């Protein structure tokens, strides 16, 4: 096939991925709507601890350890609605559609790379397509080990909207890149940034759901589960982002003769690194958890999104040659 035909095929694969991700979102949403309601376990534990009887010591001031006894059944064993057969089937079909969409997304990247004969993330369009692929890969990879289908509807709609925006606003015809980008460093620096961004996106989705979810029974997973998913994704992706920042500095020295020049993209990459480092530091040293920790990680995610999209659109710099 010619380069033009491969480029057209890549565009068709992107459209197919958008459709498949949207259909998968619908299936996951049906499963979520007709599945079982889940208790907020963290809130339930706090309420059960508050109901424990307290023994007053001889001095009348010190409380003895909680007395052993059954936890309030209304908290520990709430009535849940069993998922219907149709809801479960919809979730399984959605998972298959997500995998097929993932394959179409991968095919779009591969055929684009063959059409341009280089690593296919040399401009904003290619970069966003790759990040959507990385986010779905993070979700499906996590699903293999843990049951996180409850995130499916939200990850799929994020990926579908991301690809749609890439086609509508960022599309760039297949072609060569400027000499500064024609380097093996693009396979090192940008690949690490894409993988990390995909995992950060998974954590961001879980963080938003954490804030949306109320106490008590909900179709959404418990806040404890959402926080756990977000934390694990960030723990895995933070070293990758650190490596991407360092690799970017090394590439900058090779391309421009300096490691650091306070270019807007460099500055916001570092700000993003600091924000995620603050989240991990607060979790480990100060024991932050729950809403406070989630807000910090969502601030970091906002920095990431501004770095990936806002800087390229609104701020000019040395990285602006990567066409939008």
pLDDT digits (tens, 9 = 90+) for 98-130: 999 999 999 999 999 999 888 888 888 998 999
pLDDT at 45: 52
**What confidence tens digit (pLDDT) does each residue in 127-181 have?**
899 999 999 999 999 898 888 888 899 999 999 999 999 999 888 888 787 776 7
Residue at 202 is within a domain: yes
pLDDT at 320: 55
Total residue length of the chain: 324
Residue at 54 is within a domain: no
Distance CA 66, CA 45 (A): 13
Beta bridge partners of 39: 217
Distance CA 55, CA 64 (A): 5
Distances (CA, A) of 21 to 25, 102, 155, 231: 6, 8, 9, 25
Residue at 61 is within a domain: no
Residue at 68 is within a domain: no
pLDDT at 38: 60
Q: Residue 313 has which token pair? A: 């659109």
Residue at 320 is within a domain: no
pLDDT at 316: 63
Structurally, the chain folds into a number of domains equal to 1
pLDDT at 319: 59
Beta bridge partners of 217: 39
Residue at 70 is within a domain: no
Residue stretches of the chain with pLDDT short of 70: 35-87, 180, 215-218, 315-324
pLDDT at 177: 74
Neighbours of 109 (CB within 10 A): 21
Residue at 52 is within a domain: no
Residue at 266 is within a domain: yes
Q: Give residues with Cβ within 8 angstroms of 201, minimum separation 6.
A: 131, 134, 135, 138, 155, 158, 301
How far does the chain reach from its first CA to its final CA, in angstroms? 27
- Domain carrying residue 295: 3-46+85-314
Q: What is the CA radius of gyration of the chain?
A: 23
């Amino acid at each position: 096939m010619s380069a033009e035909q491969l480029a057209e095929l890549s565009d068709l694969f992107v459209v197919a991925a958008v459709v498949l991700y949207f259909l998968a979102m619908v299936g996951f949403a049906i499963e979520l709507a007709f599945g079982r309601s889940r208790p907020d376990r963290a809130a339930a534990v706090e309420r059960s601890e508050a109901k424990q009887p307290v023994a007053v010591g001889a001095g009348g001031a010190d409380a003895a350890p909680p007395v052993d006894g059954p936890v309030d059944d209304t908290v520990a064993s709430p009535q849940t609605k069993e998922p219907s057969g149709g809801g479960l089937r919809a979730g399984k079909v959605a998972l298959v559609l997500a995998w097929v969409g993932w394959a179409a997304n991968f095919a779009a990247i591969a055929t684009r790379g063959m059409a341009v004969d280089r690593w296919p993330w040399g401009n904003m369009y290619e970069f966003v397509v790759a990040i959507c692929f990385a986010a779905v890969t993070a979700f499906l990879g996590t699903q293999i080990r843990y049951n996180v289908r409850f995130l499916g509807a939200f990850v799929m709609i994020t990926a579908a909207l991301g690809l749609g925006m890439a086609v509508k606003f960022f599309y760039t015809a297949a072609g060569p890149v400027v000499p500064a980008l024609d380097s093996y460093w693009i396979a090192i620096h940008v690949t690490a940034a894409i993988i990390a961004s995909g995992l950060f996106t998974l954590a961001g989705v879980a963080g938003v759901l954490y804030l949306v979810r109320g106490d008590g029974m909900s179709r959404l997973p418990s806040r404890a589960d959402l926080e756990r998913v977000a934390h694990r994704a960030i723990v895995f992706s933070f070293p990758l982002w650190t490596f991407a920042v360092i690799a970017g500095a090394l590439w900058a020295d090779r391309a421009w003769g300096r490691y650091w020049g306070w270019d807007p993209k460099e500055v916001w990459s570092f700000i993003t690194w600091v924000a995620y480092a603050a989240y991990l530091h607060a979790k480990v040293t100060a024991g932050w958890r729950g809403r406070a920790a989630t807000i910090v990680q969502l601030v970091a995610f906002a920095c990431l999104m501004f770095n990936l999209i806002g800087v390229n659109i609104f701020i000019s710099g040395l990285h602006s040659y990567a066409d939008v």
